[in-house]
Chains A and B, each alone.
Chain A
Amino acid sequence: AQKITQTQPGMFVQEKEAVTLDCTYDTSDPSYGLFWYKQPSSGEMIFLIYQGSYDQQNATEGRYSLNFQKARKSANLVISASQLGDSAMYFCAMREHFSGAGSYQLTFGKGTKLSVIP
C-alpha cells in the first residue's frame, strides 16, 4: 500500500482564488511529520510547510496552510490568493519516527501539478 497518496495528478486554479491540494497518508507510528514541497520547472524542491502529528493546531505559513485531519489521515495543502508563480508540482511527504535504520527517511507522494490561470 502506498504510504502517501496524492489523488490529483493536475489541478487548475484561477489567479487570486484559493486551491486545495489533497494528501492522504498511511502509518501506524503515533509520531510522524508531514511536509509539503513545491517543485517549479527548474527542479529545486522548496520546503513550504510542516505539520507534526502531535501539533494541536493546523500549520500556517503565509499563504500556505495545512488542513490536518488526523482521524482521516489527511494533510491537505491550502494555497490562498493564488499567484502565477504558484504554478509548479507540489509534493506531500511523510517522515515516520521509527528507531534504527530508516528513521530519517521521507516518503514522497507522486505529486500534483498546479497550473494557475490568469
Chain B
Amino acid sequence: DGGITQSPKYLFRKEGQNVTLSCEQNLNHDAMYWYRQDPGQGLRLIYYSQIVNDFQKGDIAEGYSVSREKKESFPLTVTSAQKNPTAFYLCASSMGDDTDTQYFGPGTRLTVL
C-alpha cells in the first residue's frame, strides 16, 4: 500500500530537549511538507522540500530544522529554541503535477511536559 507514515503517533518531551519526528512516503513524490496545527486552527507551514537535498522555510520555521537526504524521508526536528512546541504535526507529500495535490500522513501529537 502506498502512503505516508509518521511516527510516533504520540510524543512527550521535557522542556529543553530536542525531538525528531519521522515522515516517510512510498508514493514516489518529489515534494514533502511539514505543517503544524494548533487547537481550533488551520494548518501552518513549517518547512517544505521540492527535491532531495533542498528545502525552504515556511511561515513558522523558527525553532525547527529539517533534512532531505532521501526522496522518501523528511524528518522534522523540534529544537529547544521552539517556544511553544506542543501541537499536532502533519507531514504531507505531492507529485508536483498540474494539481499538485498534497496527501497527508496520520500526524504526530507532541506534548511538552
Partner-B contacts on A (CB < 8 A): 4, 33, 35, 37, 42-47, 50, 52, 91, 93, 95, 101-102, 104-106, 108-111
Contact = CB atoms under 8 A, between A and B. Distances in A.
A109 B100 contact: no
Contacts of B43: 45, 91, 93, 106, 108
A42 B45 contact: no
A107 B109 CA distance: 21
Lowest 7 CB-CB distances: which A-B pairs, in order? A108-B42, A45-B104, A43-B107, A108-B43, A44-B106, A110-B42, A50-B99
A116 B65 CA distance: 40
Contacts of A111: 40-42
B31 A42 contact: no
A110 B38 CA distance: 10
Interface in B85-113: 88, 90, 92, 94, 96, 98-107, 109
B42 A105 contact: no
B42 A50 contact: no
Most chain B beta carbons < 10 A, residue from A43, A93, A108:
A43
A4 B98 CA distance: 21
Contacts of B50: 104
B16 interface: no
A95 B100 contact: yes
A52 B41 CA distance: 25
Contacts of B45: 105-106
Interface in B14-47: 31, 33, 40-45
Nearest to B4: A44
A42 B92 CA distance: 16
Contacts of A104: 31, 33, 48, 50, 94, 96, 100
Most chain A beta carbons < 10 A, residue from B42, B58, B98:
B42
A50 B107 CA distance: 22
A105 B48 contact: yes
Contact of A43 (B33, B40, B56, B106): B106
Contacts of A106: 43, 45, 102
Contacts of A101: 56
Nearest to A101: B56
